[in-house]
Structures are given as structure tokens and as C-alpha cells.
């Protein structure tokens, strides 16, 4: 499994950093700033929290349509093939997004965390435990590359 390691460009761009990582792995490079410019209404462009993605089904449906992928909330993690990826989003409290790479145990995953403050000697692999983070209400999102449209 290849994974592009991407750092957030600000404290608020974790969703777009994870998407940048996935799209880079799919040979569809796009930067976080390009995503902010492309989806200004979804990420508070021009505000103090520019890049903070307002995650709603409608917003993510629109991003998925324009970037040519499908998504669904999932209760089961299966090792992703080259056309799949997973995100973990915390939906309460300190909201954050990481890219789930491998399942370590029933409730924990090895993740690529784009939070630049967590990078230690260029390492970006961290453990995320659903049980320990349950107060932040994490959800697992499966993303699948869609076929290019003609």
C-alpha cells in the first residue's frame, strides 16, 4: 500500500489534507489550497478558519462528484485496494480527520494524521482508537475511486 504523507497547511485543513493524500495516490494531484479555492463555500474561504470543511452529506456529495469518487459511512474496515481509502472523522468536540491505513485491533487503526504538530522526525503513522475517542463520536468513511467520466 502506497500512501502519500501530507501535512495540513493550517490547523483547519485536515479533511483536504487527507483528500490530497488519497488523490495523490490515485495519480490525481491537487493541493489543499486548490481544494479551498474550488470549494470556497464548504470551507470558510476568507474567514479566520479558512480550510475548515463543513462536513455535511450534501457538501461531501458535491466534493465527491467533482473529484470523481464515491463515499459511504462504514461499520467495517477491509484492507483497501488501490481504488479505495478510508477516513476517520471525529464529529463532536475537537473535530479532526485522519486517513485510516491498517486496522490494529477491533477498535484501533494505524492512521496517517496530517496534523503537522504531530509529525515527529517525518513520521506520520499514529494510532487512532475508536474506544478511547468515543466522546468525539468518530465515524469511518470509505472512499472509492469512480471510473472517469467521458
Could you read off the pLDDT of 82-113 as tens digits, one per residue? 999 999 999 988 899 999 999 999 889 999 99
Neighbours of 68 (CB within 10 A): 14
Contact 113, 89 (CB under 8 A): no
HSE-CB for 143 with a 13 A CA cutoff:
29
Sign of the dihedral through C-alpha 64, 68, 72, 77: negative
Given the DSSP bridges, would you call strands 125-129 and 108-112 parallel, antiparallel or unpaired?
antiparallel
Q: What is the mean pLDDT of residues 32-52?
A: 93
**What pLDDT shows up at residue 126?**
85
Q: Please report the beta strands in the chain, taking only residues with DSSP state E, as ranges in sequence order.
A: 69-74, 84-90, 96-103, 108-112, 125-129, 138-145
Q: What is the mean pLDDT of residues 132-145?
A: 94
Instruction: Give the pLDDT band (50/70/90) at residue 118.
Output: low
**What pLDDT shows up at residue 147?**
73
**What pLDDT shows up at residue 94?**
84
Measured CA to CA, the distance from residue 43 to residue 133 in angstroms comes to 24
C-alpha distance across the termini of the chain, in Å = 28
Taking the complete model, does pTM exceed 0.85, yes or no? yes
**What pLDDT shows up at residue 117?**
63
Measured CA to CA, the distance from residue 76 to residue 15 in angstroms comes to 21
Q: Which CATH number is 14-145's, of 3.30.70, 3.40.50, 3.90.70, 3.40.1350?
A: 3.90.70
Instruction: Give the pLDDT band (50/70/90) at residue 27.
Output: very high
CA-based nearest residue to 30, from 47, 16, 9: 16
Amino acid at each position: 500500500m502506497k500512501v502519500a504523507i501530507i501535512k495540513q497547511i493550517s490547523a483547519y485543513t485536515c479533511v483536504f489534507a487527507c483528500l490530497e493524500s488519497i488523490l495523490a495516490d490515485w495519480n490525481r494531484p491537487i493541493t489543499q489550497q486548490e481544494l479551498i479555492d474550488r470549494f470556497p463555500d464548504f470551507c470558510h474561504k476568507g474567514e479566520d478558519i479558512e480550510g475548515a470543511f463543513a462536513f455535511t452529506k450534501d457538501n461531501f456529495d458535491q466534493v465527491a462528484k467533482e473529484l470523481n469518487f464515491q463515499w459511504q459511512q462504514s461499520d467495517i474496515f477491509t484492507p483497501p485496494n488501490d481504488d479505495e481509502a478510508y477516513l476517520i472523522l471525529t464529529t463532536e468536540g475537537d473535530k479532526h480527520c485522519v486517513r485510516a491505513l491498517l486496522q490494529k485491533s477491533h477498535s484501533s487503526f494505524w492512521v496517517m494524521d496530517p496534523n503537522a504538530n504531530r509529525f515527529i522526525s517525518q513520521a506520520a503513522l499514529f494510532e487512532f482508537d475508536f474506544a478511547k475517542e468515543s466522546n468525539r463520536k468518530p465515524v469511518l468513511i470509505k472512499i472509492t475511486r469512480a471510473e472517469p467520466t467521458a
